Structure 1
Amino acid sequence: MNRKLIVRLLIVAIVIGSCCFFFSRNNKKEVYQKDYSYQFYAQKEADDVIFYEPGLLMYLSGYNLYTNSDASLEELEESYFSRNELFDNYISVFALMKPDNIEETFSDITKRELGKSYFNISLDEAKKINDIFLEQQSLVTDYYGDSRILLYNLSDEQREEFYKKYEDSSYVIEDSVMETTEPYTGHKHREFQGIVKEINGNEVVIRVLDGKRICQYSGIYDDISFDIQDYVAFDFYFFKTGIEKKTESEWTGVEFENIKKIDKPKNFDIDAYYADEYKMKRERIIKFLIVAFLCCGIVASMVYFSKLEKRIDIK
C-alpha cells in the first residue's frame, strides 16, 4: 500500500477518533422510558397508539387554563411522541392541575346538557361541552377578578351558581356561597431571600443561595421598586409553576405575591450567587482548550508525518 495513503489514513483516524471521544462524553441525550398513557388518554394497539380524544381534550382544556397556554389537541398528541417542550410542561403540572376535578366538572356539564356520560360522547359533542366549560370559566374570572381561580376547583354548590348564570345572564349569583380560598387551597406558600438577577418589564429573575446550592426563580411582578443585584425577600404560592430541564434549580412561571428590598446579610458574597455560571464558563474554557490542544496535536502530527514521509521518499 502507498505510504502516503497510510499516513493520511492515520491522520484521519486520529482526527475522527479524538472528536468522537470528546463529543460522546459531552452530548448525552435524555431517554424517556416511563409510560405516560394515563395522562394522555392513550392506548397502545399493536404498533399504534390510539388517543381517546374527548378525554384528552378535557385535560388539554384544563392545562391551557392552568398554564395560560393555547396548545391544540393535535400539538398535544404530537408531543406524546416527540417528547418536546410541551410534553415536559404538560407532565410537570399534570397532578397540580387536579385532573379528577376536571373530569368531575366536564361530567356534570355533560349530564346537564346531553343527559349522558361524558365518556359516551363523540369528539364533536366533547368540543361543545368544552365551549360551555370555557364560557363558565369566563364567568368565574369576571366574578372573582382573578384568572387563577378555576371553575373545576370550586365546590359543587359554587359551580351550580355559575351554571345558573350561564343559562340565564340575568341571574344574580348568591354571594354567600361564593367565598373561596382558591387559588390557594392546597398550595404551599414559599418564602425566600435572594439577589435580583434580571428585570425585563414585569418579568423578574431572582437567585437564591441555599447552602452551596443555587436556585433561580423567574416570574411576574408588577410593582417593581428594586434594582438588579438588590437583595430582596419574596414569596409566592406554588401554582402555575414549572421546573426547567427536569432539575430543581430553575423554577419558571412564578407569580410573585411580594418582592421587597432588604438589607444584605453579614459576610455577604455576591459571587456565591453566580458560582454555577462561573463554573459553566470555566468548563467552556476548558473544553475550548481541549479542542485547541487536539487541533494542535493534529497539526503537529501532520507536520511530523509530512517530514517522515519526505525522509522515506529520500531513502
Structure 2
Amino acid sequence: MTVRVAVIGPNGTLGPPIITRLLEESSIDLTLLTRHATKTAQQYPLLHDKIVVTDYSSNPQLTQLFRDHGFDVLVILINRHELEPQLRLIDAACAVGGLHVLPSSFGVNTAELEVRRLPQMKEKIEMEQYLAAKAEKGEVSFTAVNTGLFFDWALGSFMIPQSQNQPFMIADAGTTRVSATTLSDIGCAVASAILKRHDPQVRNKFLFVHSTVFTQRQILAYAKEAAPEREFKVFTIDTEAAAKQAWRQYEAGERNMDSLRGMMLRTTFGLELGMFSEVANDVLGLKMLTEDEVKELVAKYARRSVGMA
C-alpha cells in the first residue's frame, strides 16, 4: 500500500539523509514542500516534478494542499525556532484529519527540567505540547524522534577542529557520556517511524534513539590514534561558569545562539543530560555503531583536518 509522504523544509541538514532513505522505500510516494523551489530543485534534481512551492503562513492553502495531494504523513524539517509555521502545519493536518506528523523534534530530551529552562528550547517545547494536545483529542497522530547530537555532522562541524590553530574543546573533565545519532541513522529512524506509524509503540510517542554514546575524551583519543602526526591542543571549559556567563548575557539582552551556547554545554556535558537512559532502537530497527565504526568516523574527520586521505 502506498504511503504519501510530504517532507516540509527539505533544504536543511536533515533533508538529504532523510530523503535519501525514504526514496529507498518503494511503498513511499514522496513530495517535497518548500519555500525555495530553485534551491530544492538544485539539491534534489531527480525529484524536480515532486517539488511544491508552499506558503506556510496560510492555513487555508495548506489545508487544501494536503487534501489535494492526499498526504498520509508529514515530516516537518523546518527550523525548530519557527514556531508559527509549525503550528499552522499542525493545524492544517488536523483540519484534513487522519494525518501522521513527524515534527521537528530531532535533538535533546525536552522532558528534562533543566533542558526545559533553556531559552533556545522554548519554541520546540511549545510545538511539542501543542501537537501532543491535538493528538490527545484525536485530531492528528504523531511520532517525535529525538536523536541527541547529529554525530557525523558534529564531528565535522565543531568537535574535531579543522585547523591546527583551533583547539579541541573539552567540557569539564570530558568524561560525560552523550547520545548521538548519525545522519544516515536519523533517515532510517524516520523511515521506520513512518512505516510503523500504526504500531502502539510508535504512534503518539516521543521516541529516543542513538547510534553511539561517547565522551569527549574518547573522541580525542580516537582522533589522536587516527592522526598521530597532528598535535591536538586542548581547551578546557568550565560549563558551570560558561552557563552563568550565558545567562548574564541573555538577561542583558544578548539573544544570539553564540551567547546561549554556554547553557547548552552545561546541560549536555555538565549536568549529564545529553545521554538518553532509554532508547527505542529496537522498535525502530537501529543498531548501535561498533567501536571500530566510531573510530572510522572519527578518523575521517581527524585525517581530513590534516589533508590525509
- Shorter-chain TM-score range: under 0.3
More helix by share: 1
- What TM-score comes out, normalization by structure 1 length? 0.23
Instruction: Report which structure shows greater RCO (CA 8 Å, sep ≥6).
Output: 2
Task: Say which one has the larger Rg.
Answer: 1
